Structure 1
Amino acid sequence: MKKSICVVGLGYIGLPTSVMFANHGHQVHGVDVNEKAVEGIRNKKLHIEESGLQERLNDAIDSGMMTVSTTPEKADVYILAVPSPIKMDKTADMKYIESASESIVPYLEKGNLVILESTVPPRTVQDVVIPKLKAAGLEIGTELYVSHSPERVIPGRVFEELISNDRIIGGVNEQSAQMTSDLYRSFVKGQMHETDDTTAELVKVMENTYRDVNIALANELAKISGEIGVDVWEAIRLANFHPRVNIHQPGPGVGGHCIAVDPWFLVELKPDLAKIIHLARQTNDGMPAFTAKTTKDILQQTAAKNTKVAVLGLAFKGNIDDMRESPSVDVVNEMKEYDLSVTAYDPHIHENNIKEQVQSIDDAMTDASVIVILTNHDEFKKLDPRKVADKVSSRVIFDTKKCIDRLKWEEAGFDVHILGDAKNQ
């Protein structure tokens, strides 16, 4: 049965989710406090970058199956897809979850379903969302159904994974979970795994914490490899041929709204028990400083004419425009602590978000003493080192993602440094 759905939050998850439901016959009303974003969506102009989103949005708006505004409307189902960031003290900031929950209370009616999609600390549904929803005067579980179904997608492949990935459905009771599963089956081909809401919250945080700890291991191995004369990338490749080993890749840090954030939820919840989790967070949060120091050391080894560093990549991962929790920003700030002159460029981010950012790769590289790749965008993999050589003042490049062809750059006269590669440590 087709439903009317109100989605609160039209960001990297809420907007793709909205258009998917609209494209599959549900009447969707999207809500966001960002008036500029709402006006753009209404006119089929995107404020985020995601493959396939433009075409799907066009269909949703043109068909009349999706409307948008800054305020909720009455619906059968309410989906909350708002941010759940961490504060400066590394504790969860619940203000967006609280505000979104409060915003739908005046519209709630008997029989409605409320789904929290945001990744949140365990017990958020019980301790934050439900207390707000009770203001509607409806009995939870019999008159108002509530569940948590965390998103499990990655930017750049959102639609593929919305359809194919299994979903965790955590209901406050069996009926809530069943209603949520029935709704998502309108487009999800993966399996539905029903459980309770708190378990579902923990599952999502566990998934991202596992990845964070794994990346921390890779980063430690990269540092060790540089000290003992081993290429960590080759070592990891060979280790992963073991049927029960899957070591992730090192890098300049961990970014995004999930992996860099969610483990802190567990540290906050049980600081005396989450010791490995906390250490992994500290390890990964320390990589920008390590990257900046390595850049400084590389400059000192060269006969550089100046201290200009061309930073390539500000998004937290390749081929997207998402800068949330991006370690690149921290790397830039750490470089400035060494009095390095930094110019940063990202082909996917078309507005300057930091003062060091420019909108031309030529501006970034001209007269640079060292190029530092922080994001593995395809555009950087395809750079012609011979053309780059004509722009820079010193032919030195530091690749923290191992995304360039080392031999090709060396043939063009570049001194190539790769994170975790002992040849250049």
Structure 2
Amino acid sequence: MRSLLEKAQNRELKITILGMGYIGLPTSIAFARAGFNVNGFDVNEEVIKTLKSGHIHIVEPSLQEAFVETLNSGKLKPVDMLEKSDVFIISVPTPFKKDHETKIADLSYVQSAAKEVAKVLEKNNLVILESTVPPMTTKMMTDILEKESGISRDQFMSVHCPERVLPGRILYELEHNDRIIGSERRDAAEYTKIIYDAMVKEGTCYITDDITAEMCKLVENTFRDVNIAFANELSVICDKLGIDVFELIKLANKHPRVNILTPGAGVGGHCLAVDPWFIVERFPKEANVIREARLINDYKPRFIVNKVDEILKADKSLTIGILGLAYKPNIDDLRESPAMEIAEILRDKGYKVIACEPNVSKKEVHEFELYSLGDILEKSDYLVLAQGHDIFKENVDILKSKRIYDCLGLLK
């Protein structure tokens, strides 16, 4: 163990990261910038081909420049085959199971990644699960590694270290936010802490057990989801009262101990819209507030559609333009996006729906035609401002002159 600790302190470890998505790719770059030799692995050959050509395949501020820097330095190498490594970091999706009555975590990506790692696993290797998962998943991963590799679990290390970043500033937050490191073995957690301390410039790495670490990530996002649900529920109540919810919240927040969030089109992304259900899945009888908050936020897109339908008197001859399809400002991530749901429900109701998503370069996404802001203003009879991209903020005065439903209070 001493030699491993020295290698970690001297940044002589080889780290392989499985999954070059919205978290795995920035994490690879961050560890490479910290001085480690990093292999970035993905089963999608097109992703690896794009990365090898010197380009990233996602929209994230400053990431392209940082990627080129680490690629040219030789510290980061995109690969399409797993090799032996000192450390493996699993950063793969954990979506819901498809065609399932209730929202249950699909852990097949984690299971597949663990099986792939097991093929090259060696004694004293460290395997870190960064994907957000229901409690007890790290133990499941360890079971798979032990069974598939034939190496006893006391001869390799398993850790859970969930990411906690905000899209739009992922690289900065990877290098500055506190991290939670959880393992059933204290020595494994301490070893992992040395590695993450090298990457985290200002934050602190805290050690706990693996189940607490799993729950910590879920609780962080659930806390935010519950508070957003309160704001979204207020928006529905205020609509019935005929008052401005944004003005109400502004006034209520004048109280020194009140900080109500701003309501919006709903809650999207692969974290807030998903993680609370992982708690409900494991504790269906106990997680009542959590479940209700999720249902409130899931309902908000339909509430907005009903309001638009009411305003337009269900005139299906009209063309509706959706401003913003991503789930957060200034990114291209459409996962669990409430704006996408608004567009889909309006289309199902019979409206012609087009969209402006400035961060997506395609001409069409999910069968919605994409237009520039200028073109969509010209082609739409009515607009729905669903996301606060900078380009929309910069053109507020123009948007105010249009027939528009403002989901965000941006035009106020």
The TM-score with structure 1 as length reference comes to 0.89
Structure 1 residue 167 corresponds to structure 2 residue 179:
yes
- Indicate if the aligned counterparts of 1:4 and 1:75 stay in contact, CA closer than 8 A: yes
Alpha-carbon distance between aligned partners in 2 of 1:174 and 1:334, rounded to the nearest angstrom? 50
2:199 is paired with a residue of what secondary structure?
coil
Output the CA distance in 2 between the equivalents of 1:244 and 1:384: 32
User: Residue in 2 aligned with 1:287?
Assistant: 300
Gaps of 5+ in 1: 390-394, 407-425
Shift in Å at residue 266 of structure 1?
Answer: 1.1
**Hey, what does 1:419 align to over in structure 2?**
none
- Give the alignment partner of residue 401 of structure 1, picking from 405, 408, 412: 408
Q: Which residue of structure 2 lines up, in the alignment, with residue 146 of structure 1? A: 158
- Structure-2 change in CA distance of 1:201 and 1:311 (3 Å): same
* Displacement of 1:364: 2.5
SS in 2 for 1:102: helix
Change (3 A) 1:156 1:123: same
Pairwise CA distance, 1:97: 0.4
Give the partner amino acid of 2:159: S
Residue 26 (structure 1) shift: 0.4
- Counterpart Cα distance in 2 of 1:357 and 1:364: 10
Aligned to 1:422: none
Q: Which whole-Å CA distance do the structure 2 matches of 1:138 and 1:184 have between them?
A: 25
Change (3 A) 1:283 1:71: same
Amino acid at match of 1:67: K
Aligned residues: 396
SS at match of 1:366: helix
Quote the residue 1:63 is aligned against. Answer: 73
Structure 2 match to 1:309: 320
- Cα drift, residue 211 of structure 1: 1.0
Q: Tell me: CA distance 1:99–1:387, structure 2 relative to 1, closer, same or farther (3 Å).
A: closer
What pairs up with 1:17-28 in 2 under 5 angstroms?
17-28=27-38
Distance 1:237 1:269 in 2: 37
**Alpha-carbon distance in structure 1 between the residues aligned to 2:73 and 2:348:** 53
Alpha-carbon distance between aligned partners in 1 of 2:271 and 2:84, rounded to the nearest angstrom: 30
Contact 1:289–1:331, Cα closer than 8 Å, also in 2 = yes
SS in 1 for 2:190: helix
1:179 aligns with 2:191: yes
| Cα pair 2:222 2:272 within 8 Å, conserved | yes
Structure 1 equivalent of residue 124 of structure 2: 111
Is the 8 Å Cα contact of residues 384 and 406 (structure 2) preserved in structure 1? yes
Pairing partner for 1:329 from 308, 333, 340? 340
Given residue 230 of structure 1, which amino acid in structure 2 is its aligned partner?
A: I
Cα distance, 1:386–1:263 mapped onto 2, change above 3 Å: closer
C-alpha distance after superposition, 1:20-74 (max 9, x if no partner) = 1111210000100111111111111110011111111111111111111222111
The 1:111/1:380 distance shift into structure 2, 3 A limit, reads same
Aligned twin of 1:228:
241
CA contact (8 A) 1:255 1:326 kept: yes
Residue 153 of structure 1 and its aligned partner are, at CA, apart by 0.2
Contact 1:305-1:369 within 8 A present in 2 as well: no
Query: d(CA) in 1 for partners of 2:249 and 2:32?
Result: 43
Is contact 1:222–1:232 with CA below 8 Å preserved after alignment? yes
Q: Aligned residue for 2:264?
A: 251
Change (3 A) 1:252 1:388: closer
Identity of aligned residues (%): 42
What does residue 129 of structure 1 align with?
141
CA offsets 1:128-175 (integer angstroms, 9 cap, x no match):
2011110222232x4201110000001001122112211111012101
Per-residue CA distance 1:366-406 (angstroms, 9 max, x = gap): 242211111100101112645996xxxxx4111101223x4
How big is the shift at 1:324? 0.8
Report the CA distance between 1:87 and its aligned residue: 2.1
Alignment-mate amino acid for residue 86 of structure 2: D
2:231 pairs with 1:218: yes
Deviation (angstroms), 1:305: 10
Contact 1:350–1:359, Cα closer than 8 Å, also in 2: no
Matched, 1:238 2:245: no
Does the CA contact (< 8 Å) of 1:60 and 1:66 recur in 2? Answer: yes
C-alpha distance in structure 2 between counterparts of 1:23 and 1:278, whole Å: 40
CA distance in 2 between partners of 1:61 and 1:137 (Å): 35
In the superposition, relative to structure 1, how do residues 158 and 367 fare at CA in structure 2: closer, same or farther (>3 Å)?
closer
- Indicate the residue corresponding to 1:417 in structure 2: none
Q: Is the 8 A contact 1:11 1:82 kept in 2?
A: yes
Where 2:83 maps in the other structure, the secondary structure is coil
